[in-house]
Structure 1
């Protein structure tokens, strides 16, 4: 759920409200005068529309399933910090693996905060890191790097970016475990 604020011509409040209703599930529209003569301010609480095709929402892996076998959180945070420092020193862009592992580590911290009933901004920070991964995957050549069943450009991914991170982390972790378990080629 989120809040939308629109400033528009007073005569356009009807069409603007209709457009908001078409795009989102909205609550009551609150209208106030604007500081600019002839304009109005509209405030509305909104949420995403259900999938128009009537498909059920994506089923993301549970945190336990997504992070099963993941490195200890302190080790993961050390890797993220060291990689961030190395990336900053080389002035190179962060790669997808870094963005994915950072988003997953922040998600795990946010889940711990929820479990321990700690009030912090970690859920918001984790969500923002997840949105960055989504943006990276959406803008990647060839339509994205998504390895899961829900691609990054879907409404489900936009609705739950941390769920998308769990899906992608689980797939990435499985691929890496398979690569480690693969036998080395025999010498001729």
Structure 2
């Protein structure tokens, strides 16, 4: 996943947006006036490559709503991540995957909030970086280890959409580890 910025004449914004949607899987396009040239616009869009029709079939990642259904409040997740990081410098061992997973999921949820309110921050980039760290961890794990993941991390789709991979892994982890003893506070 990546972010595209285009500066164009206001009259060209529609055709440019249509071309981007034809070439990539895109999110909502955010439009702002140009800072330097009147009559021009800045377009920001989160995009991802379309699946290769001749290659592997695209993985069907869960939607954010499905992946984070029943998840603890985002503030609770962020608190857990911060407390865990503070309590154990150089956090490692089998729990390292859980830490990386929950951190990446929390950052993904933050980026989704920023996108929903049309705030342009580095949260999407931070979420993608955290997702790539979990992918790297899962790629180096044995297939039988608890850090291997539920979807093979070597698939092309995981590399193309690391945040989709995070959603899949978080949903599976959440069902397995939190469903029996849900925290008292959950997101609505």
- Look up the match of 1:86: 87
Contact 2:51 2:57 in 1 (8 A): no
Structure 1 partner of 2:112: 111
Provide the residue aligned with 1:134 in structure 2.
Answer: 135
Aligned length: 133
CA RMSD, aligned part only?
2.4
In the TM superposition, residue 81 of structure 1 has moved relative to its aligned partner by 0.1
2-structure distance, mates of 1:178, 1:64: 16
| Preserved contact between residue 51 and residue 58 of structure 2 (Cα < 8 Å) | no
Cα-to-partner distance string for 1:66-104 (whole Å, 9 max, x where unaligned): 00000000000000000011121xx44270000000000
* In structure 2, C-alpha distance between the alignment counterparts of 1:142 and 1:61, rounded to whole Å: 22
Could you tell me which residue of structure 2 aligns to residue 50 of structure 1?
A: 52
Q: Is the 8 A contact 2:85 2:91 kept in 1?
A: no
TM-score (norm 1): 0.64
State the SS of the aligned residue for 1:142: coil
Equivalent residues of 1:51, 1:155 under 8 A apart: no
Task: Write the distance in 1 (CA, Å) between the matches of 2:82 and 2:67.
Answer: 22
Q: Relative to structure 1, is the Cα distance of residues 173 and 49 closer, same or farther in structure 2, using a 3 angstrom cutoff? A: closer
* 1:179 CA displacement: 4.6
Aligned to 1:145: 148
- CA positional deviation for 1:142: 2.9
> For each residue in 1:125-150, what CA deviation from the matched residue of structure 2 results, as whole angstroms up to 9, or x when unmatched?
00000000000000012375212xx3
What residue in structure 2 maps to residue 172 of structure 1? Answer: 173
Which structure has more RCO (C-alpha within 8 Å, separation ≥ 6)? Answer: 2
Q: Which has the larger radius of gyration?
A: 1
Secondary structure of the corresponding residue to residue 118 of structure 1 = coil
Alpha-carbon distance between aligned partners in 1 of 2:131 and 2:181, rounded to the nearest angstrom: 27
Runs of 4+ in 1 over 4 A off after TM superposition: none
Q: Does the 8 Å contact 1:107/1:123 carry over to 2?
A: yes
